[in-house]
Structures are given as C-alpha cells and as structure tokens.
Amino acid sequence: MTVGVVIVSHSRALAEGTAELARTLGLDRVRVEPAGGDSGGGLGTSAELVAGAVSRADSGDGVVLLADLGSAVLTVKTYLLDAPGTALFADAPLVEGAVAAASAAASGAGAEEVAAAAREAYAHRKG
C-alpha cells in the first residue's frame, strides 16, 4: 500500500492532466485521483467529487490533497474538518507538488513525508 494523492482544481481538465502526470512520474505505483470542476462538469469545486477522489485514492496508508486556489482550498479544508482517517492538505504548488508527492509516495514515504515533499516543491526554482 502507498499514500494516495488527490488533485483538487476548479478545472476538470487541469485536475485530470495533473493527476496523469503525477501518476506516471510516480511509476504508476500511486493512486493519484483528480477532483476537478463542479458536479455538473463546469468550472468550480465540489465536496462530493473530493470525497469520491479521496475514497478512490485511499489504500489504507492515508491521502494527501493538493488544491489549485481559492474555493478549491476552502473545499479541501472543509472536507478535512469532517473527514475521518489520515487525509492531509499540502500547501504546495499544484503540478510540482503533485509530482513530488507521487514520487515520495512511490518510494514508500508516509503521509506526513508525502505532504512535506509536496510543500518542498516551493523551493524548486526554474530559472
């Protein structure tokens, strides 16, 4: 089992694309699930989609959630208020954090370490 990762975005396409990249770079050993858009398929966020993604990503070792901005962050934080278990929010850049989280999870890191790896992605400069 590994720690799962959930990508929460206002855009379904962005969440799915980020999840695909992170899943691939996590060597397909990590459950990386998208929760993008609102329940009707438009832009927005959905607590129901987040709960479903967490359920699919959780193999028993916990789940780390990443969010793009604004109401996606609020949706994750609200979910975590009522969520039983070992789900954590990582305040991290979405794409870089997701890749770092999936890589850490694939190496067997625990939930706290996976969240820390995602947060450390802020330090990776591109220039």
**Domain range annotation of the chain:** 4-123
Residue 121: predicted pLDDT: 96
* Assigned token pair, 89: 């929010």
Residue 74 has a pLDDT of 97
Domain 4-123, CATH homologous superfamily name and number? Phosphotransferase system, mannose-type IIA component (3.40.50.510)
At 5, which helix (H) or strand (E)? strand 4-9
Q: What per-residue confidence (pLDDT) applies to 86?
A: 77
Query: Which among 112, 2, 118 is positioned nearest to 58, based on CA atoms?
Result: 2
Low-confidence ranges of the chain (pLDDT < 50): none
Contact 105, 3 (CB under 8 A): yes
Query: What pLDDT sits at residue 11?
Result: 98
**How many Å apart are CA 27 and CA 127, to the nearest integer?**
27
CB atoms within 10 A of CB 103: 19
pLDDT of residue 85: 77
